[in-house]
């Protein structure tokens, strides 16, 4: 199925400011900073959704660690309207277990209802075991996928899950028209860029992440700031930088418009 109309996608960048003396692990430090003040994060998300009402968007993709808690608040479901909205709830930041994988759940909301929910299965190429790849392919053929009148057959990949792709081998995942790939932190690694482009060889992939200030952990090397996160890939090529609308000091809405 090909896109039948001009699609407009909103990619949201939420800015995170890590606290001084953050833990050594960058993910843990930024995740804690993102959801420590859950009420403030909720207000920011509701503000983005309210502004998006004026933008005629088919879908909005929030970065990982969107909200504190493992459920999507009713106020957020109502604010999503008729659009597809991708967001994530952080229910706990303790040690991972094989059963729970990463301690956050990603949701796809459409017409005010949750139509897909999943947990991130892997983050790195080293975690792309045969079992994880098979599990992910099965979910993309079922509970992670849906058909949208403008986006076509659409599927959800979370953060580093594109690492299931090998550069010199066919993709092990089902072919999709649109892939929504929310991430936690931006990746400029050339290998990840190539994998996302490969996944979009016959369609489009959209990704965004939290931007953040520089991170100076108690031990280990400092991490530079990340100021831009929203990207898209179409027919195997990275698209031009999206139009950026600064909604508040903590939120930027980036808009991509595809031809029909």
Looking at the structure of the chain, the number of domains it has is: 1
Give the domain extent around 37.
8-257
133 assigned to some structural domain: yes
pTM check: above 0.75: yes
Q: Could you tell me the CATH number of the domain that includes residue 100?
A: 3.60.110.10
Compute CA 114 distance to the chain's CA centroid, rounded to the nearest angstrom. Answer: 16
Nearest alpha-carbon partner for 215 in 12, 24, 15, 14:
24
pLDDT of residue 97: 44
pLDDT of residue 236: 95
Instruction: Please give the C-alpha separations between residue 178 and each of 7, 21, 150, 156, 196, in angstroms, as whole numbers.
Output: 11, 40, 10, 9, 12
2 assigned to some structural domain: no
32 assigned to some structural domain: yes
3 assigned to some structural domain: no
170 assigned to some structural domain: yes
pLDDT of residue 217: 54
199 assigned to some structural domain: yes
pLDDT of residue 140: 95
pLDDT of residue 22: 56
pLDDT in tens, the chain (260 residues): 444 568 999 999 998 887 665 555 667 777 777 777 888 999 999 999 999 999 999 999 999 999 988 889 999 999 999 999 999 998 765 544 444 446 789 999 999 999 999 999 999 999 999 999 999 999 999 999 999 999 999 999 999 999 999 988 999 999 999 999 999 989 889 999 999 999 999 999 999 999 887 665 555 555 666 678 999 999 999 999 999 999 988 999 999 998 76
12 assigned to some structural domain: yes
pLDDT of residue 21: 57
Cβ contacts of residue 67 below 8 Å, gap of 6+? 35, 38, 41, 42, 45, 73, 76, 87, 88, 89, 90
1 assigned to some structural domain: no
- The single residue listed with the structure tokens 């090529």 is 237
């Amino acid at each position: 199925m090909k896109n039948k109309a001009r699609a407009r996608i909103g990619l949201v960048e939420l800015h995170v400011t890590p606290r001084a003396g953050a833990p050594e692990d960058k993910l843990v430090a930024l995740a804690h900073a993102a959801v420590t003040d859950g009420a403030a994060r909720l207000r920011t998300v509701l503000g983005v959704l309210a502004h998006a009402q004026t933008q005629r968007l088919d879908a909005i993709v929030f970065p990982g660690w969107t909200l504190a808690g493992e459920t999507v608040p009713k106020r957020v479901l109502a604010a999503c309207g008729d659009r597809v909205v991708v967001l994530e709830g952080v229910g706990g930041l303790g040690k991972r277990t094989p059963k729970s994988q990463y301690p956050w759940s990603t949701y796809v909301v459409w017409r005010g209802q949750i139509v897909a929910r999943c947990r991130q299965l892997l983050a790195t190429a080293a975690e792309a075991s045969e079992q994880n790849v098979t599990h992910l392919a099965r979910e993309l053929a079922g509970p992670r996928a849906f058909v949208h009148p403008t986006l076509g057959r659409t599927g959800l990949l979370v953060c580093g899950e594109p690492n299931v792709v090998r550069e010199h081998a066919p993709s092990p995942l089902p072919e999709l028209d649109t892939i929504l790939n929310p991430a936690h932190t931006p990746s400029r690694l050339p290998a990840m860029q190539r994998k996302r482009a490969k996944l979009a060889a016959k369609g489009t992939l959209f990704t965004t992440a939290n931007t953040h200030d520089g991170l100076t952990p108690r031990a280990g090397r400092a991490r530079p700031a990340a100021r831009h996160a929203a990207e898209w890939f179409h027919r195997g090529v990275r698209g031009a930088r999206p139009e950026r609308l600064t909604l508040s000091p903590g939120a930027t809405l980036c808009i991509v418009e595809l031809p029909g």
